[in-house]
Amino acid sequence: MSLMQGDSLTAHNFGLQIDGVMVEYLAEVSGLTIEQDVIVSPQNTAQGKIDINILPGVQKNGQCTVVRGMTQSNSFTQWINDSINGRMSTARKNATIILMDYEDNPVKRYNLRNAWCSKIDASSLKAGEAAVLTETVTIVFEELVIE
């Protein structure tokens, strides 16, 4: 691994796998969030003093946003169509966001269980514009495991 003690990963070296297949032409991953409820449990001690315990509650589902160049990727397009059309038996897939070091070695993984596309936003089409077309896809998931 090319990272020395104290080195941080860089934001430009990452990948996304969906069911083990790398998504090509990925521009950005943002907003990776998951939340857990917090349970506050106040109690009185034997001495009559208040003692407040904070406990973990129910984990909520999470989401992230992926921006990619618009390509002819049939598998990615099919996954989006399955999600948007409610074909959840084929839309729910396991996805992994992979962070890599300077030598493209995987260093950290965010594993998203039962992920599917909840929203897609295509970039604007404009006559005379010299720009890349992109798709912005919101991915929701049921569980996050960080390795």
Could you report the per-residue pLDDT of 48-60, keeping only the tens digit for each?
A: 999 999 999 998 9
- CA proximity to 139, closest of 12, 32, 15: 32
**pLDDT winner (highest mean) among 22-31, 72-81, 116-125:** 116-125
CA dist 25 and 43 (Å) reads 54
**Is residue 101 scored above 60 in pLDDT?**
yes
| Confidence label for 123 from pLDDT (cuts 50, 70 and 90) | very high
Q: Break the chain into its structural domains and give their ranges.
A: 14-146
Please say whether the beta carbons of 36 and 117 come within 8 A: no
Q: How many CB atoms lie within 10 A of CB 111?
A: 17
Phi, psi of 90 (to 5 degrees): -110, -15
Could you report the per-residue pLDDT of 76-96, keeping only the tens digit for each?
A: 889 999 999 999 999 999 999
CA dist 144 and 113 (Å) reads 6
Angle at 27 between CA 99 and CA 72, to 5 degrees: 115
Superfamily of segment(s) 14-146:
Hcp1-like (2.30.110.20)
Q: Which helix (H) or strand (E) holds 82?
A: helix 74-84
**Is residue 11 scored above 90 in pLDDT?**
no
| Confidence label for 1 from pLDDT (cuts 50, 70 and 90) | low
- CA proximity to 111, closest of 44, 49, 64, 75: 64
Q: What is the pLDDT of residue 56?
A: 95
CA dist 80 and 121 (Å) reads 11
**Mean pLDDT value across residues 22-26:** 84
